[in-house]
Amino acid sequence: MTILAGRNVHMALKSIKSTKLRSVLTMLGIIIGVASVITAVSLGEGVRKQIAGSVATSAKNVLTVRPGKLVNRDKNGNVTSANYQAAFGTAALTNQDLQAITKIQDVQSTTPLSTISAQAITRDGRQYNSIVIGTGADFAKLTGQRISYGGFFSDSEADRNLAIIGKTVAEQLFQENVPIGQVALLRGHEFIVGGVFDSFGANAYTGGGDLNTAIFIPYSSAKAISGNATNIYQILVKPKAGITEKALSHEVTDALSETHGGQQDFTVLTQAETVKLTGKTLSMLTSFIAGIAAISLIVGGIGIMNIMFVSVTERTREIGVRKSIGATNRQIYSQFSIEATIISLVGGIIGVLVALLANFFIRIGTSLTPVATWPIVGLAVAASTVIGIIFGTAPAIKAARKDPIESLRYE
């Protein structure tokens, strides 16, 4: 039987080669399916790795406070599940909250992240729609984000009109790599560029959005130019030395409950919880996209079945000849089944190569770094093989059941 299997593989390859165009078109469904599943998953995996990396480089023991009840907790305060509806809620953090946290004894520093409505204009009138974020002096340190040129503003510069800009802003607004000392107008106020960030990857603290297109200014300046209309979307809290995250998170929760009138429409997350929550959201998104991509794998399988049926009909005479010289039904079955499996498997392998190529171009062209892991590649190839076996079964059975006499007569 093994000899025959080898022989069938050989035969199948020959038959695939002899109908190259058709075979490639048949494989296309599988190629696209496998490639898109792998690309989707490796993108998700890449972002997850980046986040884990950002946590590793950032300061330890940082608490994150966000508006809305983002997670459900059990009695012991452990996160049980994410509460995705909260993302669309109206809850907000205010200046009052910030002050309440600052007043807590065990807090070493607080760093708000707030957006204001402002459009950056250069002196020569170039405009750029960037996100303007008002934040504290510790931002760079707490998030572990590196600065390529210049530096972040310090505590003593917290009321100056300084702007630290993302890489894309430098390129798009100022059209140079190091626009330090240049001036950008925000709501009519002049801000001097003091530094340019290194490229932002996916970051546990950034809460989505491409921070490469953001301009960072001191929080007090943000308040001043917007007339106190800042929208705080996150507060980073650093505990004093010797204070655990857990203990501080209780203190912060209590303090905020007071300012919010006892309502828990905010979330205090430890670093580990932040990573976990982001990971959860991410894997849900990834599996959703991968699921959609997997549908195309099934469509590809149906394509294989279709072509195999055509092939069986076309080769009716061949089946008759093979049967007349002694092939059993089982041997005919395995011949066609192996052929379908090989088409699918080769499609799967090409799909992997396409995915790797796509990943390469994504790496070059964007700030994302997709990571294709062996398990997902193996799984995709295995899935394509299984699809070949499943969708090749019906045509193979049809071939095996053909009557030798009628098949020999077939023109």
Partner 1 sequence: MPDVIELTNVSKIYGFGNATTVALDEVNLIVKKGEFVAIMGASGSGKSSLLNVIGLLDRPTHGTYSLSGRVVSRLRPNRLAKARRDHIGFIFQSFNLLPRLTALDNVALPLAYRGMTQTKRLKQAGRALEDVGLSDREYYLPKNLSGGEAQRVAIARALVGNPSLIIADEPTGNLDSVNSKIVLELLAELHAKGSTILMVTHNPELTRYATRVLYMHDGGIMFDEQTKIGEVPLRARSGGQAKPKTDEEEQLEGVSLFMSTIPARAAPGRKKLTKKPGKKARKTPTKRKTPAKTTGNKS
Which residue ranges make up the site for partner 1 (CB under 8 A)? 1, 3-4, 6-7, 14-15, 18, 317-318, 320-331, 404-405, 408
Query: For tokens 């106190």, what's the residue?
Result: 228
Specify the residue, 2 or 80, whose C-beta has the smaller distance to partner 1: 2
Tell me how far, at minimum, the Cβ of 355 lies from partner 1, in Å. 32
Positive or negative, the CA dihedral 391, 395, 396, 401 is positive
- Classify burial at 356, counting beta carbons within 10 Å of its beta carbon; exposed 0-12, middle 13-18, buried 19 or more: middle
The nearest distance, CB 40 to partner 1, in angstroms, is 39
- Shortest CB 19 distance to partner 1, Å: 10
Phi/psi at 150 (5° precision): 75, -150
Q: Which two tokens stand for residue 249?
A: 């998170």
Q: Which is nearer to partner 1, 126 or 401 (CB)?
A: 401
Q: What's the burial of 263, exposed, middle or buried (CB within 10 Å: 0-12/13-18/19+)? A: exposed
List 237's β-bridge partners, or say none. 63, 110
Q: Which is nearer to partner 1, 11 or 121 (CB)?
A: 11
Nearest to partner 1 of 132, 307 (CB atom): 307
| Nearer to partner 1 among residue 231 and residue 329 (C-beta) | 329
Neighbours of 225 (CB within 10 A): 20
Nearer of residues 257 and 331 to partner 1, judged by Cβ: 331
Match 């093994």 to its residue by tokens.
2
4 or 224: whose CB is closer to partner 1? 4
Give yes or no for a contact between 267 and 71, defined as CB atoms under 8 angstroms apart.
yes
Nearest CB to partner 1, comparing residues 5 and 353: 5
In angstroms, what is the minimal distance from the CB of 331 to partner 1? 6
Minimum distance of partner 1 from residue 6's CB (angstroms): 8
Closest C-alpha among 108, 138, 144 to residue 245: 108
Q: How far is the CB of 326 from partner 1 (least distance, A)?
A: 2
Q: How far is the CB of 394 from partner 1 (least distance, A)?
A: 19
Decide: 239 and 142 in contact? Cβ < 8 Å. Answer: no
The DSSP-derived string for 333-402 is HHHHHHHHHHHHHHHHHHHHHHHHHHHHHHHHHSS------HHHHHHHHHHHHHHHHHHHHHHHHHHHT-
Whether the CA torsion 340, 344, 350, 354 is positive or negative: it is positive
Minimum CB–partner distance for residue 9 and partner 1 (Å): 12
**For residue 189, what is the enclosing H or E element?**
strand 189-197
d(C-alpha 359, C-alpha 44), whole Å: 12
